[in-house]
Amino acid sequence: MTRIVVVGGSTGGVRSVQALRRAGHDGDLVLVSDEQHLPYDRPPLSKDLLGLDSVGDPVPLLGQDEVDALQVDLRLGTRAVGLDPAARSLILERAGEVEQISYDVLVIATGVDARRLAGTADIAGVHVIRRLEDARALRSSMGPGRRAVVVGAGFIGAEFASAAADHEMAVTLVEAQSVPLAHILGPEVGAEVASVHVAHGADLLTDRTVASIESVDGRVNGVRLDDGTDLPADIVVVGIGASPATSWLEHSGLPVDHGIDCDEDLQVLGFPGVYAVGDIARWPHPAYDAPIRVEHWTSAGDQAQVMAAHVVGRPRPKPVLPYVWSDQYGHRIQIVGRPSEGEASTLHGSMATGDLVALYAAPDGRLVGALVVDDPRLLMRLRKAISAGTPASEAAQLLAATV
């Protein structure tokens, strides 16, 4: 009987065990998670769990009842520390004890690790947001009048800044780019999205980087920027991206370089029976010309279905387009497709009025991405247009007729 081991207790891992059972796998199924908690949803960590009304409880991804129903051997508090693909052997560590387990099929879903500022590991008050403990520690430090410096004005930093405004905190965002999110949304749309911070009282400093984190008695008290500016800070939140969690695969021989290279079925190139799912996987999505690695919640679930179908020998389902959302200052920003594959060809509305829409056209004129604020129905229509290869000019006509 086939034994499948899934490494990673977040969205990619949980969706993988669920998809494998739905696809018909009836053999042994092991889920390894390095956290002590039952699997929980990560997006709320920078959203709901930082809110005024939060009590710090996570949104569960997999409850004990479902663990039992799926007949999953769930191993919490257990880290994967090594892999021998030739022997189909996985090395695990729990509470200092090392164990070696065998597998017939391995699914790697260890996700990403939040990047940190060098030299800040022992400074209290410097936070990242990746795990439940991170969000709880950050939430406990928030309060009226407290001064927060946010390093990085991407989605994580922006969502914290939004929550901090609700807590009546003084917020300064420090962004290395001249326009936040310009590498994803383009400069015009990035500037419009970022304008919401200033509108809600935050300071936004662009083209700046952090030279040092200042501390007294082991606790942060300020940030010095590359131009010599000193910013007082009670807390610092670091949102400068994430790196694939692949250090444990260093000696495995797997193709690991800013992710794990996979084929169209999420099988690792050159390693039959080994798959990667979620933030860690780089694969040839059929809608794009080159392999992509997508750090989006929904993509992990879509990839899990593709992987599971291949494992049990079923036809490959058609993967859906990448999708991400961000809740900021009472608005929901939704992005579908790959705006970075094109340029903003149509811009409507604004963040101030809560009706911003941006359409992105590829060099050949196809609609390849869209950003929509507070209009989920329009987003669904644009998703269909992107999937159908609709010209951006036709999508612009659809937008004009809608608004």
Looking at the fold, whether 28 and 87 belong to one and the same domain comes out as yes
Contact yes or no for 226/209 (Cβ under 8 A): yes
3-state secondary structure of 262: strand
Query: Does residue 323 lie in a domain region?
Result: no
DSSP letter assigned to residue 271? -
Query: pLDDT for 27-64, tens place per residue?
Result: 999 999 999 999 999 988 898 889 887 767 888 999 99
What CA–CA distance (Å, rounded) separates 66 from 140?
31
* pLDDT for the residue 43: 87
* pLDDT for the residue 311: 98
- Residues 121, 123, 126, CA angle at the centre, nearest 5°? 85
Could you tell me the two tokens for 325? 């959302």
- Provide the phi-psi class of 374: left if phi over 0, else alpha when psi is between -120 and 50, else beta: left
Q: Which of 198, 221, 240 is the last residue of a domain?
A: 240
* pLDDT for the residue 51: 86
Contact yes or no for 353/347 (Cβ under 8 A): no
Q: What is the mean pLDDT of residues 69-97?
A: 97
Reported as a pLDDT band with limits 50, 70 and 90, residue 1 is low
Q: What percent of the chain has pLDDT over 90?
A: 88
Q: What is the mean pLDDT of residues 343-359?
A: 93
Query: pLDDT for 300-331, tens place per residue?
Result: 999 999 999 999 999 999 888 899 999 999 99
Q: What is the mean pLDDT of residues 332-359?
A: 93
DSSP letter assigned to residue 16? H
Q: What percent of the chain has pLDDT over 70?
A: 99
* pLDDT for the residue 80: 98
Looking at the fold, whether 209 and 296 belong to one and the same domain comes out as no
* pLDDT for the residue 400: 85
| Residues near 125 by beta carbon (within 8 Å), at least 6 away in sequence | 141, 215, 219, 220, 233, 234, 235, 236
Amino acid at 268: V
Taking the CB of residue 24, how many other CB atoms lie within 10 A of it?
12
What CA–CA distance (Å, rounded) separates 257 from 70?
33
Q: How many helices (H) and strands (E) does the chain have?
A: 9, 26
Give the CATH number of the domain where residue 229 resides. Answer: 3.50.50.60
Taking the CB of residue 315, how many other CB atoms lie within 10 A of it?
7
Residue 177: burial class (beta carbons within 10 Å; 0-12, 13-18, 19+): middle
Query: pLDDT for 134-148, tens place per residue?
Result: 999 999 999 999 999
Q: What is the mean pLDDT of residues 166-182?
A: 97
Q: Which of 240, 275, 291 is the last residue of a domain?
A: 240
Q: Please provide the DSSP assignment of 35-74 as one string.
A: SSSPPB-SGGGGTGGGSTT--SPPPBSS-HHHHHHTT-EE
Beta strand 203-206 pairing with 274-276 = unpaired
Looking at the fold, whether 11 and 109 belong to one and the same domain comes out as yes
Query: pLDDT for 216-235, tens place per residue?
Result: 999 999 999 999 999 999 99
What CA–CA distance (Å, rounded) separates 255 from 271?
9
Query: Does residue 317 lie in a domain region?
Result: no
3-state secondary structure of 402: helix
3-state secondary structure of 160: helix
What CA–CA distance (Å, rounded) separates 195 from 333?
13
Looking at the fold, whether 67 and 150 belong to one and the same domain comes out as no
Query: Does residue 324 lie in a domain region?
Result: no
Query: Does residue 203 lie in a domain region?
Result: yes
Angle, helix 392-402 to helix 376-387, in steps of 10 degrees: 160
Query: pLDDT for 244-289, tens place per residue?
Result: 999 999 999 999 988 999 999 999 999 999 999 999 999 998 877 7
Give the CATH number of the domain where residue 334 resides. Answer: 3.30.390.30
What CA–CA distance (Å, rounded) separates 20 from 36?
23
Query: Does residue 358 lie in a domain region?
Result: yes
What CA–CA distance (Å, rounded) separates 160 from 100?
40
What CA–CA distance (Å, rounded) separates 150 from 64?
37
Where b means 16+ CB within 10 Å and e means fewer, 139-165 reads bebbeeebbbbbbbbbbbbbbbbbbbb
* Domain that includes residue 150, residue range: 116-240
Looking at the fold, whether 296 and 357 belong to one and the same domain comes out as no
Could you tell me the two tokens for 24? 């018909």
In the predicted structure, residue 155 carries a pLDDT above the cut 90: yes
Query: Does residue 266 lie in a domain region?
Result: yes
What CA–CA distance (Å, rounded) separates 138 from 149?
13
Looking at the fold, whether 141 and 226 belong to one and the same domain comes out as yes
Looking at the fold, whether 224 and 120 belong to one and the same domain comes out as yes
The whole-angstrom distance between residue 337's C-alpha and the CA centroid of its chain comes to 15
Structural domain count, the chain: 3
Reported as a pLDDT band with limits 50, 70 and 90, residue 333 is very high
* pLDDT for the residue 318: 86
Q: Which of 198, 220, 240 is the last residue of a domain?
A: 240
In the predicted structure, residue 96 carries a pLDDT above the cut 70: yes
Angle, helix 297-312 to helix 11-23, in steps of 10 degrees: 30
User: What integer best gives the mean pLDDT of the chain?
Assistant: 94
Give the residue among 132, 162, 136, 206 at the shortest CA–CA distance from 333: 162
